[in-house]
Chains A and B, each alone.
Chain A
Amino acid sequence: MRRILGKANSSIGKELGALTALILLCVIMSFSSPHFLSLTNLMNILRQSTLIGIVAAGMTFIIITGGIDLSVGSVLSLSSCLTAGMIVNYGWNVWLSVFLGIIIGAFFGLLNGLMITRIPLPPFIATLGIMGVARGLAFVYTGGAPIYTFPESFKYLGQGMIGPIPFPVILMVVVYIIFYIMLKRTKLGRYTYAIGGNEEAAILSGIPTGRYKTIVYSLTGALSALAGMVLAARLDAATSVAGDGFELDVIAAVVIGGTSLSGGQGGVIGSLIGALIMGVVRNGLNLLLVSSHWQRVILGLIILAAVTVDVLRKKGVIIKATKFKGVIMGDQGKRPESL
């Protein structure tokens, strides 16, 4: 019995749950709308999922450490505006500008990480602050006006196609392959789980937890910037209002994908599925001509449902665990506590 529960609660189990939900949604949608299963529409869904998807890979790491990052939408906007400025206003080399933009994103992630590990501020507060700072700087730099008309080479980032597949989708897949391997096969990934599993134990095992947390936030900052490039390239415009409310979509994707907000458990594949679920729902509701106002309501309900399922599943486990704990306490019965 215990073994079954152990399995059910493993990340594979959770990812399976999200995958089932995704497939179910697709089946329902394909019956509801004849357009849903067309190649163009499927590619469309994938393309629309890329922004959330790319950032969710990093956010997964952060949430596994037990943290949160609210600044991703603002960092996305600021770094895309600055890159756009370098390219359009100063005429710098496109790839150099993209590279610098990503560095800027990573820098704000680094700031988050340093505040969280050195001061230390709670992640919610630190990233809330940076969210305001980055968004404000984007407005300051652009004066509120969009920067547009990019060279073709830059637009490729958002609009390019490789065969039938949009380039951003390829980019997302590459990001996921890298982050999956990092999470499962490298020290960084292992320590990410360890920190979220029990930070105190990790510290006492000699892990420089501060350093690894900072790396994780920096990576997410870089991914936010990358998503910012893709968005600007797709729209052929960088704006200071881009990515408003984006952080909540990203967090939602991670949570729907089965990564627990209390840390220590989860995985990037689930987050990818979570991003796709959100993409399918949005797309499906569009096809069904549901107004964007109602879409927000429905997405909100989906997030609540996903977290409720997670909590209920945990609760189930907790009930079993206390039963088992009785046995452990039994050993303790000899000396329950020092009185």
Chain B
Amino acid sequence: MYQTVVRFTGEGVVGLGENYSLQMKGITKRFPGVLALNNVDFNLRKGEVHALIGENGAGKSTLIKILSGAHQMDRGEIIINNQKVSIQNPRHAQELGISVIYQEFNLIPYLSVYENIFLGREHMKHKYFIDNKEIKRKTKELLEELEIKIDLDCLVADLSVAQQQMIEVAKALSMNANIIVMDEPTSALGNREIEQLFKTIKKLKNRGISVIYISHRLEELWEIADRVTVLRDGHHVATSDLKAMTKDELIKLMVGRDLTEQFPKRDVALGAEILRVEGLSKRGVLDQISFNLRRGEVVGFAGLVGSGRTELMRCLFGAERFEQGKIYIEENEVEIKSPQDAIKQGIGFITEDRKRQGLMLIRPVKENMTITDLNQFIKRLFIDRRQEEATAESLVEKLRIKTPSLEQEVRYLSGGNQQKIVIAKWLLKNAKILIFDEPTRGIDVGAKKEVYNLINMLVKNGAGVIMVSSELPEIIGMSDRIYIMSHGRITGELTAQEASQEKILKYATKE
């Protein structure tokens, strides 16, 4: 499947490289059951901005975690400034001049700018006292150099996201980083802020600092990056000068794989409309969302992280309020103000983060499954335990949940079995509209297929399914129709026949 690996540039021999600040060779990392990185090469020139792209699960984050010392590689070689190194832990990585700016910043909100920048590396005076004067002087220097106009004494909590990001950059500089990794730095920024960020990145370049730039927003890469490396399924697919490539070529490299038979076929006739949403809006988050869903239909919602998909689903389920818009269920307008309202209308929500939102991890399997509809087991005030257990037992059998007993705490089950328990909750409740938010995140291939089979079973029984997923093959393989969201709006609608990963990505990156 991977013979088609493309080498675009005449990079030639990677080994000599005086002008490389980082070389990663043959990096291999195996997690139990999954080869996350397979013999991946990555190199970084001094003073270049190198984009690292790939779909979710391609191995970008694993590669960065190895570089930052958070993971240890199984095989491979890392060479920094022509010296072979073995990165032990995040602190060691910092000492080697590697700095990672994550999407979620590592700043302390109620400390000032200068306190944050030198946190843990304070200059001392007379051994026991913090030399604030010196710290402030150095901070001022740093900020001036980066042309950042922020008051030193400002609390980080009072800064905008963009400003906080600048503080992270300054912090990286203060640690004498010469390799800075930026993880989705523009995902939370507006246009003008992005401009400012790019200016700052160019300053870093001029200082000879190399930047690894991770982004899902492909079109901005041409503005800021020099070269690009594409990963797919843990393999290195291509490294190339950006100028030599078009966006379409990049997308093809990112997704280029066959959709094999991993999605079970279903043959279900579509029924009447079961859900219609008109003009749903929430300020700053969702803008005039309209769509519909029929019985027997699986409708996919694609889009980048932060495009508003999860927020839309939470609004539909009453977990979040929205300002405008109407929801019709079976042609009747309904008011949904709380999850209880939604559940009454027959909506079920399989949340994205099952551990935080879906399950009571320290409670038994049985209790987790019956929690949505305990009333059906109540006989004169008391829970009819025998009936409850019988029902739970039948659900365990029906969904083939592997658990030693109904009393097992769900935290001891595997991800796939946990997910089935979340689904079981809504089977019990006979929900007719099911929202699956990232239904197969973190579960293995076999369990994925079982989840797909369950979805097929649900629609066969007349339910309508909404599936939010960041895995494009999954969304294309499972949906009858696909809505694509970007920046809180629906930017495209495709039928299963029309859909392709390229088309979806095009809509998803539409401004």
Task: Give which listed residue, A205, A265, A321, A333, contacts B425 with CB less than 8 A.
Answer: A205
Q: Is the CB of A204 within 8 A of B351?
A: yes
**CB-contacts of B14-38 with A (<8 A):** 29-34, 36
Q: Cβ of B367 and Cβ of A194 under 8 Å apart?
A: yes
B383 nearest CB neighbor, chain A only: A185
Contact B378 A324 (CB under 8 A): no
Report the Cα distance A52→B382, complex, angstroms. 28
The yes or no answer to B414 lying at the interface (CB within 8 A) is yes
Q: Is the CB of A197 within 8 A of B442?
A: no
B-chain residues with CB within 8 Å of residue A191 when the two chains form the complex = 374
Q: Is B259 an interface residue (CB 8 A)?
A: no
Q: Is B31 in contact with A333, judged by CB distance below 8 angstroms?
A: yes
Question: A186: CB under 8 A from chain B?
Answer: yes
Determine if B412 and A339 form an interchain contact, defined as CB atoms under 8 angstroms apart: no
Query: Interface readout for B387-409 with A: 1 if CB under 8 Å, 0 if not?
Result: 00000000000000000100111
Write the nearest CB–CB distance from B376 to chain A, whole angstroms.
11
- Determine the distance from Cα of A181 to Cα of B57 in the docked complex, in whole angstroms: 48
Residue A118 is within 8 A (CB to CB) of chain B in the complex: no
Asked if residues B33 and A330 are in contact (CB atoms below 8 Å), the reply is yes
In the complex, whether A163 has a CB less than 8 A from a CB of chain B is no
Asked whether B412 lies within 8 Å of A332 as measured between CB atoms, the reply is: no
User: Which range contains the number of B residues in contact with the other chain?
Assistant: 35 or more
A residues near B339, Cβ cutoff 8 Å: 203-206
Q: Report which of A6, A201, A324 forms a contact with B408, defined as CB distance below 8 A.
A: A6
Contact stretch, chosen from B131-139, B263-271, B357-365, B503-511: B357-365
B444 (CB) vs chain A CBs: closest residue: A331
What interface size band does chain A fall in? 35 or more
Docked pose: A9 CA to B67 CA in angstroms: 38
A208 to B340 alpha-carbon distance, docked (Å): 8
Q: Does B64 make an interface contact (CB < 8 A)?
A: yes
A185-203 contact mask (Cβ, 8 Å, vs B): 1 or 0 = 1110011011001101111
Known A-B contacts A331-B443, A333-B36; the reply to A198 vs B361 at CB < 8 A is yes
Main secondary structure of the interface of B (DSSP, over half): mixed
Query: Is the pair B36, A205 in contact by a Cβ cutoff of 8 Å?
Result: no
Residues of chain B with a CB closer than 8 A to A338's CB: 56, 61, 305, 470
Q: A residues within 8 A CB of B357?
A: 198, 200-201, 204
Interface string of A149-191 (1 = CB under 8 A from B): 0000000000000000000000000000000010001110011
Q: Are A331 and B414 in contact (CB under 8 A)?
A: yes
Q: Is the pair A331, B360 in contact by a Cβ cutoff of 8 Å?
A: no
Kindly list chain B residues whose C-beta atoms are within 8 Å of the C-beta of A330. 31-34
At the interface, yes or no: B204 with Cβ under 8 Å from chain A?
Answer: no
Q: Mark B224-263, 1 if CB is under 8 A from A, else 0.
A: 0000000000000000000000000000000000000000
| A329 with B340: CB separation less than 8 A | no
**Min distance, Cβ A2 to any Cβ of chain B, angstroms:** 5
B340, A206: Cβ atoms closer than 8 Å: yes
Decide if the interface of chain A is mainly helix, strand, loop or mixed. helix
Chain B residues whose CB sits within 8 angstroms of the CB of A331 once the complex forms? 33-34, 414-416, 442-444, 447
Q: Which residues of B contact A327 (CB under 8 A)?
A: 32-33, 414
Say whether A2 contacts B412, CB under 8 Å. yes
The chain B residue with its CB closest to the CB of A321 is B411
* B404/A329 in contact, CB under 8 A: no
A60 smallest CB distance to B (angstroms):
16
Q: What residue of chain A has the Cβ atom nearest to residue B31's Cβ?
A: A333
Among A194, A197, A200, the most chain B Cβ lie within 10 Å of the Cβ of A197
* Nearest residue, chain B, Cβ from A326: B32
By beta carbon, the residue of chain B nearest A262 is B362
Given contacts A185-B382, A324-B412, contact A264 B371 (CB under 8 A): no
A9 touches B409 (CB 8 A): yes
Task: Point out the residues of chain A lying under 8 angstroms from B162, CB to CB.
Answer: none
**Interface flag for A293 (CB, 8 Å):** no
Kindly provide the distance from the CB of A268 to the nearest chain B CB, expressed in whole angstroms. Answer: 16
CA distance A335 to B342 in the complex (A): 31
CB neighbours of A181 from chain B (8 A): 382
Which residue on B lies nearest to A264, using beta carbons? Answer: B362
Q: Check B371 against A205 for contact (C-beta < 8 Å).
A: yes
Q: Which listed residue (A5, A186, A206, A336) contacts B383, Cβ 8 A?
A: A186
Given contacts A205-B339, A330-B33, contact A335 B56 (CB under 8 A): yes
> Which residues does chain A contribute within 8 Å of B478, judged by CB atoms?
none
Whether, in the assembled complex, B321 has its beta carbon less than 8 Å from a beta carbon of chain A, the answer is: no
What 1/0 mask marks residues of chain B from 433 to 471 whose CB sits below 8 Å from any chain A CB?
000000001111001000000000000000000000011
State A264–B65 Cα separation when bound (angstroms).
34
Residue ID in chain A nearest B404 by CB atoms = A3
A265 adjacent to B374 (CB under 8 Å): no
Chain B residue nearest in CB terms to A206: B343
What residues of chain B lie closer than 8 Å to A335, measured between beta carbons? Answer: 56-58, 441-442, 471
- The answer to whether B414 and A205 have CB atoms under 8 Å apart is no
Quick one: CB contact mask for B461-486 with A, threshold 8 Å, 1 for yes? 00000000011000000000000000
Chain A residues, CB < 8 A from B214: 339
A6/B362 contact (C-beta < 8 A), A187-B383, A204-B339 known: no
Residues in A neighbouring B385, C-beta threshold 8 A: 185
**Cβ contact within 8 Å between B383 and A202:** no
In the complex, chain B residues whose CB is within 8 Å of the CB of A5: 412
- 20 of the cross-chain contacts (CB-CB < 8 Å) are A3-B408, A186-B383, A190-B367, A190-B371, A191-B374, A193-B360, A193-B363, A200-B356, A201-B356, A201-B371, A203-B319, A206-B342, A206-B372, A327-B414, A328-B414, A328-B415, A330-B31, A331-B442, A333-B30, A336-B62
**Interface pairs A-B: 4 shortest CB-CB:** A335-B57, A197-B360, A333-B31, A330-B32
New contact pairs (5) apart from A201-B371, A205-B339, A326-B31, CB-CB < 8 Å? A2-B404, A6-B412, A194-B367, A198-B361, A339-B60
Using a CB–CB cutoff of 8 Å, the interface residues on chain B facing chain A are: 29-34, 36, 56-58, 60-62, 64-65, 183-184, 214, 305, 317, 319, 339-340, 342-343, 349, 351, 356-363, 367, 371-372, 374-375, 378, 381-383, 385, 404, 407-409, 411-412, 414-416, 425, 441-444, 447, 470-471
Residues of A in contact with B (beta carbons under 8 Å apart): 2-3, 5-6, 9-10, 181, 185-187, 190-191, 193-194, 197-198, 200-208, 264-265, 321, 324, 326-339
